Amino acid sequence: MLLVVSALGAAAGCESRAPAVRPSTAARAPAALATPRANAPPVDVQAGVGIGPVQLGASRASLASLGLTWQPSVDPQVEKYGAYTVHIGEGDAVDWVEVALSSRDLPGGLRAYGRPLSMDSTALKPVLAELGNCDPAPSAVRGRVVCDQGRITVIQNPSGGAISLRVSQPEPPASAPAPAR
25 vs 103, which has greater pLDDT? 103
Is residue 2 included in any domain, yes or no? no
Q: Which segments of 132-178 does DSSP mark as H helices, in order? A: none
pTM, two decimals, is 0.71
Q: How much is the pLDDT for 25?
A: 34
Domain that holds residue 125: 36-168
Confidence check: pLDDT of 88 > 50: yes
Q: How much is the pLDDT for 120?
A: 81
Number of domains in the chain: 1
Is residue 23 included in any domain, yes or no? no
Confidence check: pLDDT of 177 > 50: yes
Q: Tell how many helices (H) and how many strands (E) occur in the chain.
A: 4, 12
Name which of 172, 129, 170 is nearest 153 in CA terms: 170
Question: Average pLDDT, stretch 124-151?
Answer: 84
Q: How much is the pLDDT for 153?
A: 93
Amino acid (one-letter) located at 93: A
Is residue 22 included in any domain, yes or no? no
Is residue 114 included in any domain, yes or no? yes
| Helix (H) or strand (E) segment spanning residue 60 | helix 60-64
Question: Average pLDDT, stretch 154-159?
Answer: 84
Could you list the beta-strand ranges (E) of the chain: 43-46, 50-51, 54-55, 70-72, 78-81, 84-88, 94-100, 110-112, 115-116, 144-147, 152-156, 163-168
- Beta-carbon neighbour count of residue 8 at 10 Å? 10
Q: How much is the pLDDT for 172?
A: 59
Is residue 13 included in any domain, yes or no? no
Task: Note the pLDDT tens digit of each residue in 106-130.
Answer: 999 999 999 999 878 788 888 999 9
180 pLDDT tier (thresholds 50, 70, 90): low
Is residue 180 included in any domain, yes or no? no
How high is the mean pLDDT of the chain?
77
Q: How much is the pLDDT for 168?
A: 93
Is residue 46 included in any domain, yes or no? yes
Q: How far apart are CA 38 and CA 116, in angstroms?
A: 11
Is residue 1 included in any domain, yes or no? no
Q: How far apart are CA 127 and CA 129, in angstroms?
A: 5
